[in-house]
Amino acid sequence: MTRGRLLVLLVLAAAVAAFFALGGQRYLTFEYGKAQQEALRGLYERHPFQTAGLFFLVYVAVTGLSLPGAALMTLVAGALFGLLWGTLVVSFASTAGATLAFLASRFVLRDWVHNRFTPALKRIDEGVRKEGAFYLFTLRLIPVVPFFVINLAMGLTAMRARTFYWVSQLGMLAGTLVYVNAGTQLARISSTRDILSPELLGAFALLGVFPLAAKKTMDGVRARRVYARWRRPARLDRNLVVIGAGSAGLVSAYIGATVRAKVTLVEKHRMGGDCLNTGCVPSKALIRTARLLAQMRDSARYGIRKASAEVDFAEVMERVQRVIGEIEPHDSVERYSAMGVECIKGEAVITSPWTVDIRTAEGTRTLSTRAIVIAAGARPLVPPIEGIDRIQVLTSDNVWELRELPRRLLVLGGGPIGSELAQAFARLGARVTQVEMLPRILAREDPELSEMVRARFVEEGIDVRTGHKALRVESGAENVLVCEHEGREVRLPFDRLLCALGRVPNTEGYGLEALGIPVTRARTVETNEYLQTLYPNIYACGDVAGPYQFTHTASHQAWYAAVNALFGTFRKFRADYSVIPWATFTDPEVARVGLNETEAKSRGIAYEVTSYELADLDRAIADGAAHGRVKVLTVPGKDRVLGATIVGEHAGALIAEFVTAMKHGLGLNKILGTIHIYPTFAEANKYAAGTWKRAHAPQRVLAYLERFHAWMRG
C-alpha cells in the first residue's frame, strides 16, 4: 500500500475511532432521537436552513465513514423535516456520503483487496461486468445488502463514480421515501395508544413489505427483459422437463414425481448417465478386482504362502458390466415410470423457454413445460495434443469396452480418475506410466498426503512422471508420447493411451446457443445461487452446472433445481455448498471435506492442524493396513472443524463423521465424547479428536490437580 493510501486510511480509521471513543453512537439511537425531538424541532423552526444544512453534513459524515445510524437518521429526517423536505435532504446526503465512501474504498483498498480476496469479490464483480448500473440499481432498490457494504464493495469494482452517483440516487429514492414516511409517523407518537394508529401501522407495514415488493418488481423487470423475444404458449402440458437421466436428472425427476408434478425425463443415451455406465460404478467394480489381486500378491504377509491368481481380463470387464446390470434397475425406465415420470428416449433441444423438441427414432415431438432442468452432464476432455487424433485414445467413456489388457498403458492425467484407473490397471498386470504436468498427482490435496499415494504407486511399479507436459504423440512401429520435462524432451512408449485430463460440460447442440444462455469460463452453464440460468424457469444442475463433478453433488443440486423449479414462485432455496466431501478411491484412499492446509494458507485463513497416524490404530495394525493419516484443521484455540482429510483404508467412509460434524456445527469435543466401536477404523477420528484435546489440555489446572492429588495422598 502506498504512503498516500496509508495516510488516508489512517485518517479515516482515526475519525471512526474518535466517533466511538467519544461515545458518538449514543447520539445515533432511537431513544436519543426521541428525547431530543422537541429540542430539534424548535431549532429547526428557529433556524430552518442552518439546521437542515447541519443535518445534511452530519448525514454525509455518517454515511461517508460507514458509521451505523443512517437508517435512524432517515427516520429522524422524516420526524423533523416532514415527507418532502426529509426525502430531499436524505436523498442527496445519502448519495453524497455513499459516493465518498465509494471513492475512499476505491482509493485506499481496491488494489490491495483485489490481490487478496479475488474469489470473495467475484460475485459482485461479475454482476458489475455484465449489467453494472442495473445491478447496482437492484442492490439499492432492495435494501437487503447493507448500505455501507454496497458503497465499499462497489468502490472495489471498475464502476465509474458518476454512474455510481446517479444510480444510487435513483435506486435509493423509493426506500428513502418509505423510511422518511415512517419517520413522519414516528414523530406523532406521544402515547402507547398512538402506536396502534392505522397511519403508524401502515407506515411500518410499508417498511417491512418494501424490500419484498422491490425485489419482486426487479425480478419481474429482469424476467420481462429476458423473455421479451419469446411467445409463451397459452397452455403448458407439463410442470417439468428434465434433460438427461444421469445422477442430476434422475433425482430432479424423482423429486418432481414425488410431489405429484407432471414430469418428463429425456435421455438420449443410457439411463443412469455417466455414474452408472462409465463412471463411479464400473470404476469401483474394476478397483474391487484389482484390490483383490493386490491382496493376493501380498498374501505372504498374512501367513498364506501360496495364493496365485490368473487374471482373465475379459472376464474382469464382463463382471464390471454385470455389476452395472445389477444396479441398472435403480435407474431404469421401469422404475421411474412406476413413480409417475414420463421417460422418453431421445435427444432434447430447447426451442424456447417453455418448449423442448424431442428427437426420437420415430420423429420429433414438441413438449411444452413450465420449467426445464438441464442435467446434460459432461464428457471426457481430449486436448488437441499433436498427433493424438492419429491413435485410438481411451477415455473413461470407452475404456470399459476393452477386453484385452494393454501391455503398456500410458495414463495421461494425475487427477482422481487418472489415478484410480492407473492403479487398477497396474494391479491387473499392465505396465502403467502415469503422466502429470503438475509437480504432483492428486494436486488438490495437501502435498504430504498426495505423496503417500505417489509412494504407494511407485512401490506397486507404476512409473509416475510428474512435471511432464505432453507435447505430441508419435505413432508408427511404436507409439510414443513426447513430453517436456525440465526443459528437455522425454519419450514415453506405450501401447494404449488413456486420457484422463478432466471432463467438459455438455453445453452445445441442444439450444443454449439459440436461447443465449451463457456459459462460464469453466464452460459450465451459468447459474445463480438458485441454479437458475438466464431464464428464471430454466435450471441447470450436476456436471453441466459445476463447480463440482461428483454424483453426490449432482443429486444435492438436483434437489434445489427441482424444488425451485416447481415451487420457486413461493419460495426459492439457495444451493448450499458449505460442506462438500469427496473421495479418491485409490489405495490408500483419500477423502476430504472442507479446507485443507494448502487452501487455508492460500486464502489467509487461520487454522490449527491436528494429525493422527493410522500406524497407531489397533484395527489398522490387525488388518495390515497401518498406514495413512487423519488430518484435521480447526479454528485456532477452538474445536470447530474447518476441514479434514483422511488418507488410508476406508477413508471415503470415515470422512462421513467429519461431514456430519461440519454440517451440524459439532466440534472435536463432541466427536471425542462419542463412543466408537473397538476395534474399528472409525476410532481414528476419535483419536484425532483426542490428540487435539491433549494439545489443548489446561496446563495450569493440571498443575493444580497434581498438587491436589499429592495433598490427598497425605
Ligand X SMILES: Cc1cc2nc3c(=O)[nH]c(=O)nc-3n(C[C@H](O)[C@H](O)[C@H](O)COP(=O)(O)OP(=O)(O)OC[C@H]3O[C@@H](n4cnc5c(N)ncnc54)[C@H](O)[C@@H]3O)c2cc1C
Residues of this chain that interact with ligand X (CB under 6 A) are 243-249, 266-269, 273-275, 278-280, 283, 347-348, 375-378, 396, 417, 506, 510, 542-544, 549-552, 554, 585
CB of 355: closest distance to ligand X in angstroms?
A: 14
Nearer to ligand X, 108 or 655 (CB): 655
Nearer to ligand X, 44 or 582 (CB): 582
CB of 654: closest distance to ligand X in angstroms?
A: 16
CB of 196: closest distance to ligand X in angstroms?
A: 55
Full 3-state SS string of 642-659: EEEEEEECCHHHHCHHHH
Rounded-to-5 percentages of helix, strand, coil across the chain: 55, 15, 30
Measured between alpha carbons, how far is 546 from 539 in angstroms, rounded to an integer? 12
CB of 140: closest distance to ligand X in angstroms?
A: 37
Q: What is the DSSP letter of 478?
A: S
Q: Give Rg (Cα) of the chain.
A: 32
Nearer to ligand X, 59 or 539 (CB): 539
CB of 266: closest distance to ligand X in angstroms?
A: 5
Residue 688 exposure: Cα atoms within 13 Å on the Cβ side: 33
User: Residue 564 — φ and ψ, nearest 5°?
Assistant: -65, -40
Nearer to ligand X, 34 or 269 (CB): 269
CB atoms within 10 A of CB 611: 13
CB of 543: closest distance to ligand X in angstroms?
A: 4
CB of 406: closest distance to ligand X in angstroms?
A: 17
Nearer to ligand X, 262 or 345 (CB): 345
Euclidean distance between the first and final Cα of the chain, in Å? 64
Residue with cell 489398522: 620
- Judging by beta carbons within 10 Å of its beta carbon (0-12, 13-18, 19+), is residue 50 exposed, middle or buried? exposed
Which of 160, 161, 138 lies closest to 216, judged by CA? Answer: 138
Nearer to ligand X, 274 or 683 (CB): 274
Nearer to ligand X, 409 or 689 (CB): 409
- Judging by beta carbons within 10 Å of its beta carbon (0-12, 13-18, 19+), is residue 183 exposed, middle or buried? buried
CB of 443: closest distance to ligand X in angstroms?
A: 18
Nearer to ligand X, 413 or 568 (CB): 413
CB of 358: closest distance to ligand X in angstroms?
A: 8
Three cell numbers, residue 470: 505432453
Nearer to ligand X, 137 or 400 (CB): 400
Could you tell me which residues come within 8 angstroms of residue 434 by beta carbon, excluding any fewer than 6 positions away?
410, 411, 413, 414, 418, 419, 422, 441, 457, 462, 463, 464, 465
- The alpha carbon of 37 is separated from its chain's Cα centroid by a whole number of angstroms, namely 49
